[in-house]
Homo-oligomer: A and B are copies of this chain.
Amino acid sequence: MKVASYIRPLVANLDVYVPGEQPKVKDLIKLNTNENPYPPSPGVISAIRKATDSRLRLYPNPTCEPLRNRLAKYHRCHPEQILVGNGSDEILALVLKAFVEPSAGSVVNKDVIQYFTPSYSLYPVLASIHGCRANPVALGKSFEIPALSQLKRRGWSFSAPLSLITTPNAPSGTAYTTSTLEQLCRKQKGIVLLDEAYGDFAQENAMELALKIPNVLVARTFSKAFSLCFQRIGYCVGDVQLIQALDKIRDSYNVNGLGQIAAEATLDDINYYHKTWKRIIDTREGFTSALRALKFEMAPSQTNFIFAKPPDKPAKQWLQTLKDNKILVRWFPYPETKDYLRITIGTEAQMKSCLKVFKAFLNQ
C-alpha cells in the first residue's frame, strides 16, 4: 500500500499557509512579521525567570483561570466570557470547528467562512484545512468596507455562519470605525469574529461589540502589542455560550505555563506597554511622512506596520533591494497586494536604515 493513500485527499491537496521568513542571519533588520521592536517589560522577564523552577514538571492551569480572571478585569467582563488559546491562530482554527460545518454532508450554506480581501492570508488556508468553502469579498479602493447597501452585490452574505474581519486590517494597516463594524455585525445572521491582533495600535477598538452583541467575538493576541510572540498567547471574548462551545473542542492543556505567567505579569505592567505603543506610533507617523516625500503611496496605518506602494519600480524589485541590504519586509503575491510592501515599524534607527536604502535605490 502506498504511503500517500493513508492521507485524506483534503489534506493531500492542501495549499499551506506560508508564514514570514524567520532566518537566523546576523545583523538582519527584521520588518517582515510585525513583531514589536521593544522587549517585554522587566516585570515580565523576572516573572518568567522566577517561575522557572520545579513547577515545570506539573501541568499548567488547564483553563488559564488566573489569566482569565485578570483579562476579565482588564476588559470589564466575566472570566466565563474569555477563552485563552495557543496564540490567536488557535482561536481562529477553533472558531471554524465550532461554528462552521465541513462541506461534505453539510446543510446548505452552513459550510462557508467569509472575509474581506486583502486581509489575513491564513483565512483561506483555515477553510481548506476545515474542508469548508471560503467567500472572499474585495474591500474598496482605499481598503474600506463597502457600504452595507453594496455588500450583497459584491457577493457578501449576511447569512454566512462565520465572518472573519481583521480590524485594523492587515496587510493594509487601515482601520474601520466601531460604528461601521457594529452596523455590519448587527446585520449578520452568523458569527462575526473581529480579529484585533493590532487593535492596541489603533485609535479605537471594538471590544465593546463582543460584550453587547451575542454573535460577535473579538480575538486578541499578546504577540504584537505585548511583545510575546515567543510564548503563544491569544484569547477571545464573547458570549458565554459561544466561549463554552470553543472550550469543549480545545486541547485540555492548550496553553503553556510560562506563557500564562508572562501574560499575567504583562497585565500588571500595562503602562510600560502604553509607552512602547506610543513610540511605535510616533515612529510610524514619521516614517510614513518620509515615505510620502519619496512618492510612496499608502493609506493611513493604525497598526504597527505600513502597507506602501513604492514608486517607479515593481514592489518585488524594492523587496529584493531591501533584502540585499539585510532588511526583510513582506510582499504578498496576490493581484490586490502585489504592488505593495508591508513594512513592520521597528525602532527609529531601523526605520532610518530602511529609508536610507530606499533613497539610495531611488537615486540609482
Give the chain B neighbours of A11 by CB distance below 8 A. Answer: 97-98, 245, 248-249
Partner of A90, one of B37, B105, B223, B251: B251
A141 at the interface (CB under 8 A from B): no
CB-contact partner of A57 in B35, B58, B98, B239, under 8 A: B35
Task: Count A-side interface residues using an 8 Å CB cutoff.
Answer: 84
Residues of chain B within 8 A of A191, CB atoms compared: 6
- A300 in the interface, Cβ–Cβ < 8 Å? no
* Chain B residues positioned under 8 Å from A45 (CB to CB): 52-53, 56
Answer whether residue A147 sits at the interface, using C-beta atoms and an 8 A cutoff.
no
A252 to chain B: which residues have CB within 8 Å?
A: 17, 19, 89, 122
A101 in contact with B8 (CB, 8 Å): yes
A3 to B241, CA, bound (A): 7
**A16 touching B248, Cβ below 8 Å:** yes
Copies held by the complex: 2
Of A171-179, A197-205, A226-234, which stretch is located at the interface?
A226-234
**A267 CA / B78 CA spacing, docked (Å):** 42
Can you pick out 11 interface pairs between chain A and chain B where the beta carbons lie within 8 Å of each other? A11-B245, A14-B248, A35-B59, A40-B56, A49-B52, A59-B223, A86-B254, A97-B129, A102-B104, A129-B248, A230-B257
Residues of A within 8 A of B (CB): 1, 3-4, 6-8, 11-12, 14, 16-17, 19, 22, 30, 33, 35-40, 44-45, 48-49, 52-62, 86-87, 89-90, 93, 97-106, 122, 129, 131, 161, 189-191, 214-215, 223, 227-232, 239, 241-242, 245, 247-249, 251-259, 262
Nearest first, the 8 closest Cβ-Cβ pairs linking A and B are: A104-B105, A105-B105, A39-B54, A230-B257, A57-B227, A56-B230, A19-B252, A59-B229
